[in-house]
Amino acid sequence: MGTEPLPPGQRLAKGWPAHYGPVPKFRPDRWNFQVFGATATGGKYSWTFDEVSALPGVTIETDLHCASGPTSTDHEFFGVAAHTVLELAPPAPQVTHVMAWAEYGYSANLRLCDFASDRTLLATHHNGEPLTVEHGFPLRLVVPHLYGYKGPKWLRAVEYMTADRRGFWEERGYHNIGDPWKEQRHSYQEE
């Protein structure tokens, strides 16, 4: 929060900058959120936006740390806890990682422990309002303890994986884990 220290090498952002770029058009009749890959049953799960909205919700407060330097502070997100997804769509015991998939093929890989973390959230709301489209409407993954690239906006699916695989930025020089408190920005820092 405002009184929290910033992770090493971060600077305070003015407001909440949104990355410039095309934003997807939300078509409720075609939109779904899916869980696929190594599920316990072998089956695939799918929710409409109304179904996602009807799931039990939680609120978290967090700062957001972009790996390029800016930290924007004091965000309140509301949505579905990732552990609720893990309960509704249980992973097979061999699952070690997940891939979070967004519109346009953006992806981010996470260790299962990071996805399962208490504060990891599939957010629908920010500061009491539905997310704006620039910031990920209708659904956005928020992983408070990792850099921003680990939280896809316009989230569409979670894939359960039995081995690690790099996501969009992780394939382009960003750190595979991305812990801001350890300043894990670049892939060359990996052991």
Ligand X SMILES: Nc1nc2c(c(=O)[nH]1)N[C@H]1C(S)=C(S)[C@@H](COP(=O)(O)O)O[C@H]1N2
**From candidates 37, 136, 144, 148, binder to Mo ion by CB under 5 A:** 148
Nearest to ligand X of 16, 39 (CB atom):
16
DSSP characters over 80-135: EEHHHHHHHSPBPTT--EEEEEEGGG-EEEEEHHHHTSTT-EEEEEETTEEPPGGG
Interacting partner of 152 out of Mo ion, ligand X, none (Cβ under 5 to 8 A depending on kind): ligand X
Interacting partner of 153 out of Mo ion, ligand X, none (Cβ under 5 to 8 A depending on kind): ligand X
Single out the segment in contact with Mo ion by CB under 5 A; choices: 2-10, 27-35, 86-94, 143-151.
Answer: 143-151
10, 52, 1: which is closest to 157 by C-alpha? Answer: 52
Nearest to ligand X of 6, 66 (CB atom):
66
Please report how close the Cβ of residue 95 comes to Mo ion at its closest, in angstroms: 26
Please report how close the Cβ of residue 43 comes to ligand X at its closest, in angstroms: 26
- What distance in Å separates the CA atoms of residue 104 and residue 9, rounded to the nearest whole number? 30
Q: Given the rule CB under 6 A, which residues bind ligand X?
A: 16, 18-19, 64, 66, 102, 106, 135, 148-149, 151-154
CB 67 within 8 A of CB 147: yes
Interacting partner of 75 out of ligand X, Mo ion, none (Cβ under 5 to 8 A depending on kind): none
Interacting partner of 64 out of Mo ion, ligand X, none (Cβ under 5 to 8 A depending on kind): ligand X
Contact positions toward Mo ion, by CB under 5 A?
Answer: 66, 148-149
